[in-house]
Amino acid sequence: MSTVENTAVKRELEDASDEGIASNTNGGLMKRQVIVPVTKPRIHYTPLKTGLCYDVRMRYHAKIFTSYFEYIDPHPEDPRRIYRIYKILAENGLINDPMLSGVDEIGDLMLKIPVREATREEILEVHSKEHLDFLEKTEKMSREELLKETEKGDSVYYNNDSLSSAKSSCGGAIEACKSVVEGRVKNALAVVRPPGHHSEPESSGGFCLFSNVAVAAKNILKSYPESVRRIMILDWDIHHGNGTQKAFYDDDRVLYVSLHRFELGKYYPGTVHGQYDQTGEGKGEGFNCNITWPVGNVGDAEYMWAFEQIVMPMGREFQPDLVIISSGFDAADGDTIGQCHVTPSCYGHMTHMMKSLARGNLAVILEGGYNLDSIAKSALAVTKVLVGEPPDELPEPTKDTKPEALEMVDKIIRLQSKYWKCFKRNCGNAGCDFKEPITETILSKNFPLQTAIRQQQLQNLLLDNYKFVTLPLVNQKLSEDTVFCSQNVYDASTLVVVVHDTPDIWAARNVITGTIEPSSSIIVDSGLQFIKWAVKRNYGLIDINIPQSLFEQDNYSAMITAQEVLLYLWDNYIKFSTNVQKIAFVGIGDASSGIIHLMGHRDTRNNVKAIISFIGSKQLKPLVPLVDESLTDWYFKNSLVFSDKNHSCWGDNENKKPRKKYGRVLRCETDGINNIVEERFEEATDFILDSFEEWSDSE
């Protein structure tokens, strides 16, 4: 057989093989056995498009201009907000609409979901008849009446088109959720306004007229009782969604999780309902979670930490049938109202995580966001993830989470562990019955550890080694071991007063039960360094232990106790010590607030030469000079205040310096009171010696 003939046979056999035909040993052909027939992809999610709700008519709701300045500096809730989002989607090819007119056919990636006005019956699922009746009247109000109602409202404005826009915004949210639940789209984005999450059942507020997400969720639960039994609402707007929370506060079918600035209620809407301890009531107890940022300037690190530690564990355990994101973009970097720094990449990552819940049934409903560039870029990042793109990498993935955020997340986990199994491993109590009262007697089952620590301090060091004695506090309702002093306290010319919180514990915790393993845990008492140092130099010494409150969550009572104890000691002991010429105060933790309070309420300048405070991450306390205005300058000159490296007072500005009323505040290289005492102990003692005009041991 020639070379040409061989090649032809070989090609014939290859073609036959491709068709499932094989050759036999005699050179003939036989059909190859089919193992797996060609099958259509058994997936329903990927082939579907992402739904998009948008209608230019929602831009008709606008503030009535009353001056030239309102024209050049428009209201933050600007009609252009939704236009800019729609425009950036077109610029990036996610939709096709060259005229940006809101056409129905928008391309291969997204499906247009027609916007309609919510019906009266749908709105009344959440809102009162009186509230709806009032908004219906705005259609026929005069310009003067509209301006009057705007002036009376809580950060809202009205025109004759406000009701129509609000109904369309609310109806768009409903239709976005319906299209996801019915399987017409894989997920949906509702680019709607006015926003909704501040609108309560009886009133408008915070730029919101109807509570869009709440109305949508109520109607979905009502219309699809078999397929949608549980809904998770995630609200990442920088403001608390008080209206959404109120609609479901007693409803166990809806898990509401909100991440927002709170700052002790100073940030809008500024009600107690936005506090982290608001967990729901009745059947809804445990189904409300407020993740409250105690400071501003939070960003990717804080949001990703909250998602990984709280949001996703709760979501997985709740097992929702639908997830709705109340998607405000006012936490975005560049928003002057939110003043935070969440990047578009972070919004993409958060969306990506939420897509893993409810089999991907996700509806993203626009809320706030007032920087037009920031809101557009953030919405683009979210939309890319919705259509199937992976999120961009975070710009600073190794950035440290703010200590205040770490503490808040830990508080929330401990609080929510009463309701959620996913948190119990972190907060196990080994069967302890905390309903039994905590008492100071060692005969009690629930015995406060800080009492045992103080007894150990006294027995091992202050009493046995240094022969300290009790300094009585008459009528102060404090334990006898609160204040101890050296025996030479009345004879010494130099006095050091150390006032401190209960020392820290470095503990090894059992990961199953949550209990501390005593054999592997140690007490770390930084205050003892100053006691040993002062005793070695034969100074008089007073040691004051300020116990943290056993019953008050945030320990404000401990700071008040420190203030009362310091005033009492000064008025009844120290100022009558005729031999004392030089005094130094050393404060550690919250207890140092008592020293600052004393400096402002008594003129101590004749004797007090140095004030040292180790505050760690605690809040700076200003000196309030009730005696003499010049006390502020004196305090700054004679004080050192050591803070954590990541203390909130420094912000993101390396050159920022706190005002003089806080003392001479110094930024340490580490975090944690024990670490900064170790780092700055020698500097602190040298400062005291210089103030006493004595030589340092190191010189």
Asked if the model's pLDDT at residue 449 lies above 90, the reply is no
In this structure, are residues 174 and 188 in contact, taking their beta carbons and an 8 Å threshold?
no
Poorest-pLDDT segment among 20-24, 271-275, 388-392, 468-472: 20-24
* 28 has a pLDDT exceeding 60: no
DSSP code of residue 359: G
Q: What does the alpha-carbon distance between residue 409 and residue 496 come to, in Å, rounded to a whole number? A: 38
- Reported confidence tier of residue 468, pLDDT bands at 50, 70, 90: confident
Kindly tell me if the per-residue pLDDT of 261 is higher than 60.
yes
Separation in Å, CA 178 to CA 25, 51, 185: 62, 11, 9
CA separation for the pair 331, 340 (Å, rounded): 5
Q: Which two tokens stand for residue 681?
A: 């102990």
Sheet holding 254-261, edge to edge: 110-112, 50-53, 187-190, 362-366, 322-327, 231-235, 254-261, 288-293
Please say if 240 is a catalytic residue.
Answer: no
Out of 61, 131, 198, 239, the active site residue is 198
Q: Please state, for a pLDDT cut of 70, what percent of the chain lies above it.
A: 87
The mean per-residue pLDDT over the stretch 451-476 comes to 72
Helix (H) or strand (E) holding 379: helix 372-387
Beta strands in 191-317 (DSSP E): 231-235, 254-261, 288-293
The CATH architecture of the domain made up of 450-692 is 3-Layer(aba) Sandwich (3.40)
Has residue 553 got a pLDDT over 50? no
Residue 693 has pLDDT above 90, yes or no: no
- Closest C-alpha among 42, 23, 210, 11 to residue 125: 210
Stronger pLDDT, 519 or 188, i.e. the higher one: 188
Give me the mean pLDDT over the 126-148 stretch.
96
Instruction: Tell me what pLDDT residue 7 has.
Output: 54
Query: From its phi and psi, is residue 67 left (phi > 0), alpha (psi between -120 and 50) or beta?
Result: beta
Q: How far apart are CA 642 and CA 648, in angstroms?
A: 13
Average pLDDT over residues 69-96: 93
**Would you state the pLDDT for residue 80?**
96
Which residues of the chain does CATH 3.40.800.20 include? Answer: 50-426
Amino acid at the residue 296: G
Is the pLDDT reported for residue 436 higher than 50? no
Indicate the fold that domain 50-426 takes in CATH: Arginase; Chain A (3.40.800)
Q: Is the pLDDT of residue 16 over 60?
A: no
Positions of E strands within 574-633: 582-588, 608-616
Residue 94 confidence (pLDDT): 98
- pTM of the prediction? 0.75
- Quickly state the pLDDT bin for 669 (edges 50, 70, 90): very high
pLDDT for 253 beyond 70: yes
Q: Nearest 5°: CA angle at 143, between 139 and 146?
A: 60
pLDDT in tens, 419-428: 999 998 666 5
Q: What's the average model confidence in pLDDT over 461-475?
A: 80
Contact status, residue 214 vs residue 243, Cβ threshold 8 Å? yes
550 falls in which pLDDT band (50, 70, 90)? very low
Q: Which residue has the higher pLDDT, 499 or 513?
A: 499
Torsion of CA 527, 532, 537, 538, to 10 degrees: 100
So what's the pLDDT on residue 520? Answer: 72
Beta bridge partners of 500: 545, 588
Which residue stretches of 182-240 are H helix? 212-223
Residues 618-642: what's their mean pLDDT?
A: 91
Residue 269, exposed/middle/buried by CB under 10 A (0-12, 13-18, 19+)?
buried
Q: Where in the chain is the domain with CATH 3.40.50?
A: 450-692
Q: How far apart are CA 102 and CA 56, in angstroms?
A: 7
pLDDT of 295 higher than 70: yes
> Which range is least confidently modeled, 183-197, 311-325, 356-370, 501-515?
501-515
Classify residue 608 by its DSSP letter: E
pLDDT above 50 for 554: no
Look at residue 48 in the predicted model and tell me its pLDDT: 96
Average pLDDT score over residue span 396-404: 92
3-state secondary structure at position 423? helix
The alpha carbon of residue 564 and the mean position of all alpha carbons in its chain are separated, in whole angstroms, by: 33
Q: So what's the pLDDT on residue 434? A: 44
